[in-house]
Amino acid sequence: MVSERDAGDVQRLQDLADQERDALRRDRYRAVRLALQGKETLDIADRLDRSRRSVQDWVYAYRDGGIDAIQPKPQPGRTPKLPREREAELKARLDAGPRPEDGVCTLARQGCGPNPRAGVWRQLQPGRRVRSVGTAELFLRGPAAAT
């Protein structure tokens, strides 16, 4: 049996669960709240449709570190090819549309693809297939990449 670390944690967990949009985080708050109310691990797991082990991990994390300890750890993602400080520059460039020196076509001009923003298209040789060059990749390498 686990007990409240701080007075009012049960109500705070209820408030957090009511406001949370992410189902996993909401279930973490609910599991700990139910455990604080005296429910058994298996009952909580069945009620939330989560594994017994997950419920135990969340309750133990709360017991050892409080509400902040049951937050999921941030997951590192792939490093973006386009640095964050250049995103606004890319957006402005895309909104400006293609220039003749870019060597790219648009749906309106040549019918190259279903969505001009999905990728920058270029023709390899007359009569050959069209291939996509990633927008960020083209932007980082400059207009020479479109040839």
Residue 141 is predicted with a pLDDT of: 59
Instruction: List, in order, residues 6 or more apart from 72 with CB less than 8 Å away.
Output: 24, 25, 28
Question: pLDDT under 50 in the chain at which residues?
Answer: 108-111, 116-131, 146
What is the residue whose two structure tokens read 């669960």?
17
Domain extent at residue 128: 84-146
88 and 142 assigned to the same domain: yes
pLDDT value of position 115 = 52
Answer whether residue 3 is part of any domain: no
Place of tokens 């279930």: 27
Say what the pLDDT of residue 106 is.
Answer: 55
CA angle at 48 for the pair 26 and 7, rounded to the nearest 5°: 55
Look up residue 2 and give its two tokens. 């686990």
Structural domain contains residue 76: no
Residue at which a domain ends, from 70, 94, 116: 70
What is the reported pTM?
A: 0.53
Number of domains in the chain: 2
Residue 73, pLDDT score: 82
Q: Do 93 and 64 reside in the same domain of the chain?
A: no
| Domain-embedded: residue 117 | yes
